[in-house]
Structures are given as C-alpha cells and as structure tokens.
Homo-oligomer: A and B are copies of this chain.
Amino acid sequence: MTKSLFPFAALLALAAPAQAQDEAAPPSPGELVAQAPAAEWTTIAPQDLLVMTLASAPDGTAREVVIQLMPAPFSQGWVGNIRTLARAGWYDGITVNRVQDNYVVQWGDPNYDNPEADGAAKPLPEGLKVMGEAEYTVPSFVPPASSIKRELQGAATMSGLIAAGVNIDALMAEPEPTQTSEARRALADRYSRFAAFTQGWPIGGRDEEFWPVHCYGMVGVGRGMSPDTGSGAELYTVIGHAPRHLDRNIALVGRVVEGMEHLSSLPRGSGALGFYTTKEADKRTPILSVRLASDLPEAERPAFEFLSTEGETFARYAEARANRRDPFFIHPAGGADICNIPVPVRRVAD
C-alpha cells in the first residue's frame, strides 16, 4: 500500500494532529488548541481531582479514572460530601452497578436500597450535608476578573456575554441591528434561555438562575424521589447523547477528565434501566479506591490543566468547532451545540 493515511482517518477527526497537513488549510479545532499559549492553560487544584482506581480489566489492563470536581459557586455542598466520603475511604470496595447504553454508568454501594442485596448497606460517614433542591442552581455569579470582554460571536462565552452587558432576553426575543439571525441561532438552546461557558464549564441559564449542564462525561449525584437530592455516595457519568432534561433535576459535581473509556466501554446491564441483574452480578466492576489527588503522596499526584474558557484561544476553538473548515469538511455548520464543544483538558507531564 503506497498511500500514507487511512482516508477515513481524515474524515471523522475530532482533533486533528498538531501539525497542519497543508500550509494553506485553515486550522482544525485541535490545531488551535495545540497552539494555545501556556498562559491560557489553567492548572486544576489537586483538591479538585478525584482519582478512582477500578479493578483491572479482564485482559489485565489497569483502569484509572480521573474526575475534576466543580468549582464554586456550583454544587459545593455535594462536592464537599464527596471529599468527605473519599477521605473516609468510603468509596473503596463499592462497584459499578448500572451501565445503560446511550445514558449513564453509575457506581455506588451495591447493597444500598437493593431488595436483592446479599449483604447490609454500608454505613455512611458522619458529617455529610443534606442539600436542598434550590441548590441545583445559583442565582447569580460574578465572572472571574480574568474574563475577556468580547463582542457576541458565533460561539459566545457566558461570562463574555455578561461582562459585555448583553440582555439575553432581548437577544432571544427580537433582532437588533447588530444581532443577526445567525448570531441568535448560534446562541439558541432548547433547554435553557442560553448555554455557554464560564470558568472552564458548560453552563445553562436565564435571567437570575444558572446551572451546569449534562454533557458527555459530566458526573452527577444519584438521588431518590424528591425532595431527596442525594448525598454523593452514589455517582454517575453520562456515556451518551447529552441528557439535558436532567439539568436542574440532579446535582452535577464534576466531569471525567481521563479514563472515560474505562467506564463507557463496560458491558451494558440487562436489567431495567441498565442495572446488572443478580444473575450478572459478576459484571459489577469493583472500585478499589477513590482518593483526592491532594491526599496522595506528592510523587503520585496526577496534574491536569484546562484551556481557559475566557481566553482568546477558546473563543477561536469554539468558533472552529461550530464552523469546521479543515480540509475534510465541505459545509461548515454555522453553530455548535454546547455539548459538542468539549472544554480541552490535558494531563501535565511529570
């Protein structure tokens, strides 16, 4: 074979290689990210990283999943509970109990509230907060001082919009001379008045209410029927198309930043809602330990950083995701769903 590439490899590129194949070709989203200046990358604090070690795969592959916890002002009560549970070693020995295709992977105590349990539920540690439904959203927040004010773009960031004094309601309701229908379409969202990025996270909102949104890889808190909001002892992550109808109905506490494939490729459960049935209990993947990176010896701490959503590169990256002009594409879309603009996160080399 003389050709040097899989032709299809070029075609479905989520992130193209860092080196441009053609000097004249517009950069792909991945190329833009690779060229971002160091100052636009934000280090994730070790107390915001959760290292979850699963039992090795059947073929012996080690499986580690790293989760970034959400920053203030979002979901901090549940995030605090998760730190308490991790420090108590409570998560050690629980299992993945549910894998529902195109929906979620969920882990927790397999004996909790399970009529077919073969043992007693594990007692929770003391000191967990009971959170209310009102805390699924925050009434307002001040954009970080680092926000760059910018004009409305094809893919706008929320803090940019707020900082620029944009009246979201007016924008959505009526065209103004400077607000084209293309710009309004780019902001449209079926689940919230608008959806955009701030502080490295995808956020939905309207006038005085803001909330994190359920994109692929986001991590949330299992709960029972309302007004129960869950403690943080049972967690799930999204493994399919964004289930945005869960926004404001469950607490989101973070996202998987490495090792997602160890969860998303697990065998699906054959019980209702993807739970593993008693007969297939051997499919439950054991979780050996969950630790905050800040509680690990310094030599073992993983380090990660995300591309600032307030920087110039993120704006260009989001625009390029919305309008693919790299050589494979024929028709740029003219917009992108907020969950189709994943915030770039990368491991920092030791």
Interface residue ranges, A against B (CB under 8 Å): 1-14, 17, 58, 98-104, 106, 108, 111, 113-115, 117, 121, 133, 136, 172-175, 181, 185-186, 188-191, 193, 215-217, 222-226, 228, 234, 236, 240-250, 260-261, 264-268, 272-273, 275, 321-322, 324, 327-337, 339-340, 342
Cβ contact within 8 Å between B190 and A336:
yes
- Nearest neighbor of A188 in chain B, beta-carbon distance: B188
Which residues of B lie under 8 Å from residue A222 when comparing CB positions? 7-8, 11-12
- State which of B216, B242, B272 has its C-beta within 8 Å of the C-beta of A9: B272
Cβ contact within 8 Å between A330 and B268:
no
Q: Smallest Cβ distance from A340 to chain B, in angstroms?
A: 6
Cβ contact within 8 Å between B265 and A7:
no
A interface: dominant SS: loop
Once A191-B334, A268-B265 are accepted as A-B contacts, the answer to whether A11 and B242 lie under 8 Å apart by CB is: no
Cβ contact within 8 Å between A224 and B7:
yes
Which residues of B lie under 8 Å from residue A337 when comparing CB positions? 190-191, 241-242, 244, 337
**Complex formed: what's the CA distance from A250 to B333 in Å?**
13
13 contacts between A and B (CB under 8 A): A2-B115, A8-B236, A10-B224, A11-B223, A12-B222, A12-B236, A14-B103, A173-B181, A190-B335, A190-B336, A191-B333, A191-B337, A245-B332
Cβ contact within 8 Å between A249 and B328:
yes
Cβ contact within 8 Å between A1 and B185:
no
Which residues of B lie under 8 Å from residue A228 when comparing CB positions? 7
Which residues of B lie under 8 Å from residue A226 when comparing CB positions? 328, 330
- Nearest neighbor of A328 in chain B, beta-carbon distance: B225
Which residues of B lie under 8 Å from residue A244 when comparing CB positions? 333, 336-337, 340
Which residues of B lie under 8 Å from residue A216 when comparing CB positions? 102, 240-241
**Complex formed: what's the CA distance from A234 to B302 in Å?**
39
Cβ contact within 8 Å between B248 and A101:
no
Which residues of B lie under 8 Å from residue A261 when comparing CB positions? 101, 267-268
Cβ contact within 8 Å between A327 and B1:
no
Interface centre among A111, A236, A331 (most CB of B within 10 A): A331
Cβ contact within 8 Å between A340 and B58:
no
Cβ contact within 8 Å between A249 and B8:
no
Interface centre among A102, A275, A329, A336 (most CB of B within 10 A): A102
Which residues of B lie under 8 Å from residue A321 when comparing CB positions? 245
Which residues of B lie under 8 Å from residue A17 when comparing CB positions? 272
- State which of B99, B117, B236, B333 has its C-beta within 8 Å of the C-beta of A190: B333
- Nearest neighbor of A181 in chain B, beta-carbon distance: B173
Cβ contact within 8 Å between A1 and B115:
yes
Known: A14-B103, A58-B58, A249-B330. 11 other contacts (CB 8 A): A6-B114, A8-B108, A8-B224, A9-B272, A188-B188, A188-B190, A225-B328, A245-B322, A248-B330, A249-B328, A264-B265
